Chains A and B, each alone.
Chain A
């Protein structure tokens, strides 16, 4: 009898976890890691309308700009040796004497 209850409780718990995971994935809370920041640019469909055509070309420019980054990434890389460089003088210790 106890075994039967255990199976039911375990089954309900598994179902509950499954529903929670399904909800989180379907609502976009969890996204596969390689999708983050790597989504294809949305290309506006050609309609033959001059306004939509111009807007599409302008969107291309905005997308390109967004894709270039700010340059701060390079700065962060260049100064990423700061810890090693600033610690260099710690090689000598006057308290040894």
Chain B
């Protein structure tokens, strides 16, 4: 009985001392974790930034090459067309044939110019749309990242403040865990929403496909008409 009376206050003091030690260690751990998290966030932001630059570079390169290739091929087809016209001219003997050829050449050249202009316009519209979609996506990602960073920063700051003000460790720990889980979950849900922006790119792809298809179809119709007109005029 006497022993218990003597030991009890000592044990309570020792426990309090352990709690204080543990509390200090835990508060210290929060500060350290917070600092490490800032480092990790910076690393991940740097990775995202590097990836963005890589994407921008690749898109730019792809479009430059596409333009170059289109230009070169069109030049070759222009030369080829000149050869075809020259061969037709060789065979046009009568005035009616020569006149029909003039009409045909104008019609074919006009149809080719129109088709190329329509394709150029479709490509330009697509590229602008893609750039816009890319920018929107990046802005949404930046907003989600900022929301996440603010939430995690606030979680750590609250934990530090509560730690310093003597809130029980269990409460501080649980609140911090809950806040981090909530921040991560919010980011995950924001990210899922961001991925729906891919539909905007799909729309651009579809508009481009439709416009190019129409340009080709209009061209074919114009060429068929030019062929039939030529044949009718030359009695073929």
Contact = CB atoms under 8 A, between A and B. Distances in A.
A54 interface: yes
Given A72-B205, A74-B130, A88-B187, A60 B137 contact: no
B55 A97 contact: no
A58 B111 CA distance: 11
Interface residues of A, number: 48
A61 B227 contact: no
A47 B204 CA distance: 41
Contact residues of A: prevailing secondary structure: helix
Interface in A51-85: 51, 53-54, 56-58, 60-65, 67-75, 77-82, 84-85
B112 interface: yes
Interface size band for B? 35 or more
Interface of B: 29-30, 33, 37, 40-41, 43-45, 47-48, 51-52, 55, 58-59, 62, 66, 69-70, 73-74, 76-77, 80-81, 83-84, 86-88, 90-91, 104, 108, 111-112, 115, 119, 123, 126, 130, 133-134, 137, 141, 145, 148, 152, 173, 176-177, 180-181, 183-184, 187-188, 191, 194-195, 198, 201-202, 204-205, 208-209, 212, 216, 219-220, 223-224, 226-227, 230-231, 234, 236
Interface of A: 41, 43-48, 50-51, 53-54, 56-58, 60-65, 67-75, 77-82, 84-94, 96-97
